[in-house]
Structure 1
Amino acid sequence: MILVTGATGNVGRHIVDNLCKGGHQVRVLTRNPAKVSFPAEVEVAIGDLTAPETLKEALDGVQSVYLVRVPGSEAFPQIAKAFSVERIVFLSSSAVELPVGNAIGRNHLNTEELIRASGIKWTFLRPGAFMSNAFQWAGSIRTEGIVRAPFGDVATTPVDPRDIADVAAEVLSSYGHEGKIYTLTGPKLLTTIEQVKILSNILGKDIRFEHMAEEIAKETMKRFAPSEVVEALFQILREPPTAVLNTVQDITGRRPRTFQQWATDNAGAFQQSRELS
């Protein structure tokens, strides 16, 4: 049995689909089962990573866990060990590897260290920027044909969440990945301005990029995210990872999806409501 946490997220729901297609037994953890929908063969366990007393049903009979970081869930690795979980595949972050200190890296490294200390076999996935971060521009693209953001000319290596999910599903359902750290990138360095141009071409719509002052961008983001996370994001954007890696292809046997593929598959989100990939 494989337990998937964060199963409704950009990565988790694709992991569930991949594992089901592969014929694996899958259980998902959720705090609110009324708000989730999965294939009939998926078991749904009610529980909360931050409330150990709620996890008995979820962990009973589980061999492998796909784990996302949730503040307040620091006890989970030891609880999983007590339930004889054999391995944890943890969605970490490439921010761990940056030379500049940042809260995102520290938080994920702390979870990695707790997993190591538990004695459970582990694999850490460390993606960088998600292509799906572009969804934050959808509203202004639909209504104004504008993307406002800082650091428009800074290049990153955004990765499709589906590629992260493909790697995670492979690692969860096969052996030989124990004790490995997989840093995941997309196939190409892209600036925000270049991503906007790709969206413009795919949508057949003129989209203008407008530079947003850093302080204004910070204050806007702090309405939706903790201050330390916002500050960390800006630290990362000043010195982003720039290496393009072959990890996705090495694990899955195929090249990672391009931003153009992602944008084509999700064009409707920038035009009208639809299910997002």
Structure 2
Amino acid sequence: MILVTGATGNVGRELVKQLHQAGQHVRVLTRNPEKASFPTDVEIAVGDLASPVTLKDALNGVQQVFFVRVPGSDAFPRIAKESGVDQIVFLSSGAIDSPTENAIGRNHLHTEELIRQSGMKWTFLRPGAFMSNSLHWAQSIRTENVVRAPFGDVGTAPIDQRDIASVAANVLVSSGHDGKVYSLTGPEILTPVQQVEILGSVLGRDIRFENVPESVAAESMKRFAPPEIVDAIFALIRDNRNHVDSVTTTVEDVTDRRAHTFRQWATDYSDLFR
């Protein structure tokens, strides 16, 4: 039995789909079962990672876990081990590898250490920027044919969430991954300006990019996210300006399939921008 946490998120939802298609016995953990839509033979367990007393039934009979940390989930690795879980695959963060100390990297590194101490077999996935982050631009593209964002000239190697899920699925169903730390990127370095150009080409529209001052963008984001996380995101982007992302081949190495390009991702999800 494989338990997938974060199953309604971008990566978790895709992982459940891939594991189910591969014939694996899957259970998902959710706080809101009425909002969870999965195939009928995928088990749904109600629980909260930040509330240990709700996890006993969800972990019953589980051998493997895909784990996505949330605030307050520090006890989960210990509880999983005590419940008989043998293997944990943790969706960590490439922010750990940044030369700039930041809250995102610090939080995920702390969770990695808790997992190491638990005694379970483990594999850590450290993705960088997600291609799906560009969905934040969807509304302004639909209504104005414009994207307003900071750091238009800073390149990253964004990754398709389907590729992260594919790596996770392979780790969960095959051997040879214990104790491995996998850095995950997409296949190319792209700036936001270049991503917008690709979106425009896919959509057949002229989309304008307007660079927003960092201070203005940061204040806007802090209305919806903790200040330390916003500060970490901006610190990581500034770091990319001075230390350009390296493209890894991990997706292909683990899955034997090339990582999706941003153009492929934009084409497959183009309806979300129309």
TM-score w.r.t. structure 1 length?
A: 0.97
Number of the residue aligned with 1:265: 268
Which amino acid in structure 1 is aligned with residue 267 of structure 2? T
Which amino acid in structure 1 is aligned with residue 87 of structure 2? R
Measure the CA separation in 2 of the matches of 1:186 and 1:122: 23
Secondary structure (helix, strand or coil) at the match of 1:205 reads coil
Measure the CA separation in 2 of the matches of 1:174 and 1:2: 13
Deviation digits for residues 99-152 of structure 1 (CA, Å, limit 9, x no counterpart): 110000000000000000111110000000000000000011111111011110
Which amino acid in structure 2 is aligned with residue 258 of structure 1? T
CA-CA distance at 1:223 after TM superposition: 1.2
- Relative to structure 2, which stretch is displaced further, 247-256 or 170-179? 170-179
Measure the CA separation in 2 of the matches of 1:249 and 1:36: 31
CA-CA distance at 1:160 after TM superposition: 0.1
Measure the CA separation in 1 of the matches of 2:20 and 2:128: 26
Size of the aligned set, in residue pairs, is: 271
Deviation digits for residues 157-207 of structure 1 (CA, Å, limit 9, x no counterpart): 000000000000110111110100000000000000000000000111110
> 5+ residue gaps in structure 2?
none
Number of the residue aligned with 1:6: 6
Measure the CA separation in 1 of the matches of 2:217 and 2:255: 37
Measure the CA separation in 2 of the matches of 1:144 and 1:21: 39
Number of the residue aligned with 2:89: 89
Measure the CA separation in 1 of the matches of 2:223 and 2:203: 29
Secondary structure (helix, strand or coil) at the match of 2:266 reads helix
Secondary structure (helix, strand or coil) at the match of 1:3 reads strand
Measured on the aligned residues, the alpha-carbon RMSD in Å equals 0.6
CA-CA distance at 1:214 after TM superposition: 0.5
Measure the CA separation in 1 of the matches of 2:66 and 2:15: 9
Number of the residue aligned with 1:100: 100
Measure the CA separation in 1 of the matches of 2:80 and 2:111: 14
Which amino acid in structure 1 is aligned with residue 260 of structure 2? R
Measure the CA separation in 1 of the matches of 2:34 and 2:139: 28
Which amino acid in structure 1 is aligned with residue 92 of structure 2? S
Measure the CA separation in 1 of the matches of 2:138 and 2:261: 19
- Relative to structure 2, which stretch is displaced further, 174-183 or 233-242? 233-242
TM-score w.r.t. structure 2 length?
A: 0.98
CA-CA distance at 1:227 after TM superposition: 0.4
Runs of 4+ in 1 over 6 A off after TM superposition: none
Matches within 5 A, 1:31-46: 31-46=31-46
